[in-house]
Amino acid sequence: MSAAARWNSREFFKTVALTTLMAALIWVWAEGESVSRVSIACRVELQADPFGDLVYRSDDPEWRGNITFQVEGSAAGIAAARELRGQTLRLTAGLAGMPVEPGPNRVARLREAIAAIPELSRLGVVVVSCEPSEVPVRVMRMITRDLPVRVELGRTLLLDGEPAASPATIVVRMPDSVLVPEGAQAVAFVSPEELDRVRGDGAAAAGARAAVASIRMPPWLAGIEPVQIAPESVVVSFRVRKETDTFRIAAVPVWFGLPPTEDVAQWTVEVLDKFVNDVTLTGPADQVGRVRSGEITLKALVELASDDLQRAVRSDRAAVDQPGPGADPAASGVISRPVTFLGLPPGVTAAAANPVVRVRVTRAGRASAEGLERPASGL
């Protein structure tokens, strides 16, 4: 074969290969651009952020946000759209089909809104239908109001000056249909537990304090939604007045306690002095007032150690003759022990003219086990 013939043969095969490659590329492109249709089931969520300009609520109690829409487009666009199946799409103000006029029974046109969401609009597909095609919604325009903060303490305190909240105002986001009363305020409530925490104990109970207070929703906002307040808590500063008070209690009941290592069935304990008389409480006036009002009840506790029980029995034995063979030795005696006052509020002390009580202890073969701590009355 001549050189010219060989050259022509190579050119022929090159032309055929190039033509075949171009045809394949055109076919692939055409296949990707061919129009097809697919149904996609997903959920939609109406804009509910109270910090947005508009908030939507469905007026159809049966609708749970489930929709099915059909899209039409290229194979590539359809493949990307299929990724939205089962996902939650958010419908916000500003999308086509979403109403912007506040009020109830507005209509959200879902086909238009779905087509406008960024997840679909960038795919180049067309939303041809949606089921349901529209839903009734309530549209609420949100506004911001600044409310001054008023402090409420969970318990009365003697203060120098008024408590102050920081920040002194809070921000409330609410629908513009809410009527704000004249002189409306937010309440910062300091719980009794928080007051006890920051008060401290003893002499340290007086002076400057800072407590965390939670913001309580004003009554005129009850049942209104959506409502958002910020911040939800504030710092309350106050100065406790250094003022003490005293209170006399005529009689405080006496309880007794046994060690957990003792078998209570082996001992009978009788408190001979049922009450500690003339008990005087001294401490911060507000804390003493809690006892005076009956909010707190005190009790006196005499704790008996194992040595106390044995000592009481031995003290009685020493006073009698040695028993004869087979006789039952004496197993009872009386001891005196000081009491401890329980239930005192923070910073309050208790004093009694005679804080010592007498207790009779008997070693018994049979006794009812009624617990490690019992009232002197046996109740």
Topology classification of domain 244-375 = RNA Polymerase Alpha Subunit; Chain A, domain 2 (2.170.120)
Calpha distance 77→125 (Å, rounded): 6
pLDDT at 296 over 50: yes
**Residues 238-270: pLDDT tens digits?**
887 777 889 999 999 999 998 888 887 888 888
User: What average pLDDT does the segment 355-368 reach?
Assistant: 75
pLDDT value at position 61? 86
**Domains 143-240 and 244-375 equal at CATH topology level:** yes
**Residues 32-90: pLDDT tens digits?**
555 578 999 999 999 888 888 899 999 988 899 999 999 998 888 898 889 999 999 99
pLDDT value at position 378? 44
Give CA angle at 267 (306, 356), nearest 5°: 60
Nearest Cα to Cα of residue 287 among 349, 237, 342, 341: 349
pTM over 0.85: no
Average pLDDT, the chain: 82
372 to 116, 134, 255, 259, 307: CA distances (angstroms): 74, 71, 10, 7, 16
pLDDT value at position 8? 58
pLDDT value at position 204? 45
pLDDT at 335 over 60: yes
Topology classification of domain 143-240 = RNA Polymerase Alpha Subunit; Chain A, domain 2 (2.170.120)
The 3-state DSSP composition of the chain as helix, strand, coil percent (nearest 5) reads 25, 40, 35
pLDDT at 214 over 90: yes
Indicate the angle between helix axes 75-82 and 3-33, nearest 10 degrees: 40
- Of the two residues 164 and 364, the one the predictor is more confident about is 164
pLDDT value at position 205? 52
pLDDT value at position 4? 55
Q: Where are the domains of the chain?
A: 1-28, 34-132, 143-240, 244-375
pLDDT value at position 315? 60
**Residues 136-191: pLDDT tens digits?**
999 999 999 999 999 999 987 778 789 999 999 999 999 998 988 899 999 999 99
User: What average pLDDT does the segment 316-339 reach?
Assistant: 63
Calpha distance 16→8 (Å, rounded): 12
Alpha-helix residue ranges (DSSP H) falling in 44-159 = 75-82, 110-116, 118-121
User: What average pLDDT does the segment 184-213 reach?
Assistant: 79
pLDDT value at position 18? 66
